[in-house]
A and B are shown apart, each in its own frame.
Chain A
Amino acid sequence: MDRKKSILVVDDDKAVLEVITDILKLQGYRIDTAETGHEAIEKTEKKYYNLALLDIKLPDMEGTHLLIKMHRETPKMMKIMITGYASLENAIESLNLGADAYLMKPIEAEKMLKVVKDKLKTQEESESMSEEKVAEWIKSRVRKIKKS
């Protein structure tokens, strides 16, 4: 890992938080956790996270509401929804609302790590792409100025 990526895990079940945190930490990610929607929002406002794992069912708000809010406030942050069996439809809806992926509980550790890794890579690529685009834009702008 070139640089340590930060991940926010949001779930109301402490045992789940703990085991997911352990698995991700083992891969060298920096992990923060939140047990409620409000806590999650507070944390994302104070600090930038590369990725968030959001349980779709939270005690204080619907996971999808949290998703909409985060998509608006921190569009660059990768958002992976974690759903139960009964909320597969919600999961699909989540994708429409701006989620980047969804995982169904219980999540196989390998699968979770793969999705997380994939999404972080996509993020990196899109970031570099936008840097390239900016550089391109500056270059073409410079050329235009020179011409004129």
Chain B
Amino acid sequence: MKKVSQIEEKLITKEKESQEDFYRQLIEAIIFTENVSLKIHRILDETKIYKLLEKEFAKSKLYSMCIFLLTDDCSKLKIAAASKFYRKNEIFEKTFGSQLKQFRIDLNKSKFCSQVVKEEKTLDIEITDLLHEIAAQLQGDLIKKFFGSQTKRVIMTPLYHREKVIGIFNTCSVSLTEQYVPIVKNFAQHVSAAVELAKEQSEHEKIWETLRKSEEKYRGLVENVRKVIVTFDMKGKITSVNKTILEYGFGRYEIVGKNFLKFVTKKYLQKILKDFVRASRGESVEGQVELITPRGIRIVEYRTNPIKMGDKVIGTQAILGDITERIMMEDELTYERDLLQALMDNIPDLIYFKDVDSRFTRINRAEASVLGLEDAEEAVGKTDFDFFTPEHAHDAFNDEQKIVKTGQPLIGKVEKIRRADGQFRWVTATKVPIKNTIGQVTGIVGISRDITEQKNLQDELKRYSEQLEEIVKERTEKLKEAERLAAIGETATMVGHDLRNPLQVIIGKLYLARENLNRISCPHKEKQNLEKILTRIEEETKYLNKIVLDLQDYASPSNVELEETNISDVINETLSSLPILDTIKVSVMIPESLQKLMIDPTLMRRVFTNLILNALQAMPSGGELRIEALEKDAALINIHDTGVGIPKDNLSKLFQPLFTTKAKGQGFGLAVCKKLLELQGFEVTVDSEVGKGSTFTIKIPFRR
């Protein structure tokens, strides 16, 4: 150091050096730079290059150097290296902290720097001039100390990277002259080249790093993907598989190197072979296959891609996804759907689904038949208005809209519907809302059950029970009537029997009284009076006898013997036995064809007696008695009078025993008539008008 200082002093003090010394120094500089150049060319790291430069220049003691590098925006320069700092770095950093790193030289404020960077000039200037420019930006005089007061000159030359200026190489020395400029320029080129190489190396490394990371990422992807990724060679041998295969219970060693067909179920062998051939031709194939795995048979879905080298297919890659669960779920769903369909199609009830606007979304076969549709699908989108009467459709629509609005079901409403074939049917309709998971009504499902048969049966039953009630009522009445008649009969028998003897005695005594009266002698007038009395008693006795006779007849009528009889004779005989007043006009009109009828003459005589007596009694002040026969589907014999007539209310009771409107009359006459006629199979009816008269009609059927 002392020696160098002395040389420096000599150089400064003696204005001119000897040529030998000058050249020796120049050669030393060249040797120094070449040595450093050799060193830095071995280094492939930019930072390390700078460090080495700092170290070597610091070691030289003759020279110092400093490197400025452009910031990214190329507007400023930062200090990348400085040999003066090499030893003093720690002190420097302690003093300035991180300031040095952040120290920037503004290009716009430094004329020299700007010239080097922008104009690519190499400057040989006084260090003080440069410091003057940039010192203001540095803090205090301390910086000056570092650069030293001995150094006089500084050579500034650009540093390049790919022919672009990236910074400035500065070198200072006490002995620098303009002859050093080419050496410095040359050295700066070496530095540029070394830095460029280092930069490129680091870029390469970066690329490699990226590639490595990307490969790792891809490998991770392949390894961690949920699907099995497997590759085959052209013979079907498995060349690789990712670790997802472990989920199937395989170890990789069990798979790799084996032919994939070993793992395919028999059922799929043929299909899979075909697909493999296609894949080997370079096609992408998709499909499903069953694999035999340690965890049982799994259904997987696959997609293949050819692995190519250039245009040549060298293998196949396949991605497998386990769809066993999905298939099973689908099968279950299919089963459920089939069940529902079977239920829908086979149940005789009408089932339909509708949307919230009452449009059909699905119906079953039974409903389709009611709607007159061949195919249940045809109903989709239609409404009740397309099939039913407007009244019914309207009612149903209102019901359904109410369900949609309130969410409340409609249960068992009895409805009458008209089928497409025109038949009316009774159904019970049940409609319930279909709700989604949040409770909104999304539609309606309805079931209608045909209850026509039940309803008909019910109606019939009701009708029957009503009829039965009527029958029971009728029978009860008949029974009551029969009981009444039986009671009457019993009474009649008893009365008839008990009155028989007293009547016999009275009749006998009357005869004796009359005989006695004829024999005794007494005034003619008194005899006449007595005769009248006897006659009166006789008449009343006869009437009494008739009552008894009627009672007897009613209670136990005689046997019927129908014989061909001339009805006119019977009528005329009857008329002649009855006392008919002159005030009564009698006419009998029987056509020739009706002369002979099958009747019981004895019974008919009694009938005519009663009917004619009735007619006569109805005409106390005279009138017309007309007896005529008409030929219809039966022989009709009318006994017509112009008497008082019978009120309508009494007509139905007329033929009942013990019914009478007469003051004198026990009410057996017409009852006996009816009974005697019915015994012969005949009928009797009556038509009457009060004040005009009555007509009794006997209907005698023709017999063959």
Interface of A with B (CB < 8 Å)?
13, 15-16, 18-20, 22-23, 26, 84-86, 88-89, 105-110
Contact = CB atoms under 8 A, between A and B. Distances in A.
Given A23-B508, A84-B497, 5 more contacts: A26-B515, A85-B496, A85-B553, A107-B508, A108-B511
A106 B549 CA distance: 10
Interface string B494-505: 001100111111
A122 to B, nearest CB: 24
Interface residues of B, number: 25
B508 A109 contact: yes
Nearest to B553: A85
Nearest to A104: B500
Given A106-B507, A107-B507, A23 B549 contact: no
Contacts of B530: none
A16 B465 CA distance: 60
B508 A86 contact: no
Given A84-B500, A105-B500, A20 B549 contact: no
A84 B553 CA distance: 12
Contacts of B512: 19, 22-23, 26, 109
Contact of B507 (A13, A85, A108): A108
A88 B496 CA distance: 13
Q: Which of B503, B507, B508 has the most CB of A within 10 A?
A: B508
Contacts, number: 62
Nearest to A113: B511
Those 10 A-B pairs whose CB atoms lie nearest each other, nearest first: A19-B508, A109-B511, A85-B552, A106-B503, A106-B504, A13-B501, A15-B505, A106-B507, A105-B500, A84-B500
Q: Main secondary structure on chain B at its contact with chain A?
A: helix
A105 B545 CA distance: 10
B556 interface: yes
Nearest to B544: A106
A90 to B, nearest CB: 12
B505 A16 contact: yes
Contact of A85 (B500, B506, B508): B500
B500 A22 contact: no
A86 B504 contact: no
B505 A19 contact: yes
A105 B508 contact: no
Given A105-B503, A106-B503, A107-B504, A86 B509 contact: no
B198 to A, nearest CB: 162
B559 A89 contact: yes
Contacts of B501: 13, 15-16, 105
Interface string B172-212: 00000000000000000000000000000000000000000
- Interface-centre pick from B496, B507, B515, B548 (highest chain A CB count, 10 A): B507
Nearest to B502: A15
28 contacts: A13-B501, A13-B505, A15-B502, A15-B505, A16-B505, A16-B508, A19-B504, A19-B508, A19-B509, A19-B512, A23-B511, A84-B496, A85-B496, A85-B553, A86-B493, A86-B556, A89-B558, A89-B559, A105-B500, A105-B501, A105-B503, A106-B500, A106-B503, A106-B506, A107-B504, A108-B507, A109-B507, A109-B508
A88 B555 CA distance: 13
A109 B503 CA distance: 12
A84 B505 CA distance: 14
Nearest to A15: B505
Contact of B497 (A86, A106, A108): A86
A106 B510 CA distance: 12
B632 to A, nearest CB: 35
Contacts of A108: 507, 511
A26 B518 CA distance: 13
A26 B552 CA distance: 32
Given A16-B504, A88-B558, A110 B497 contact: no
A51 B548 CA distance: 29
In this complex, the member of B501, B506, B555 whose beta carbon has the largest number of chain A beta carbons within 10 angstroms is B501
Nearest to A20: B508
Interface string B34-65: 00000000000000000000000000000000
Contacts of A106: 500, 503-504, 506-507, 545
Interface in B521-574: 545, 548-549, 552-553, 555-556, 558-559
Contacts of A22: 508, 512
Contacts of B556: 86
A104 B508 CA distance: 13
Contacts of A23: 508, 511-512
Contacts of B558: 88-89
Contacts of A89: 558-559
Contacts of B555: 86
B501 to A, nearest CB: 5
Contacts of A110: 511
Contacts of A13: 501, 504-505
Contacts of B497: 84, 86
Nearest to A13: B501
Contacts of A26: 512, 515
Contacts of B549: 85
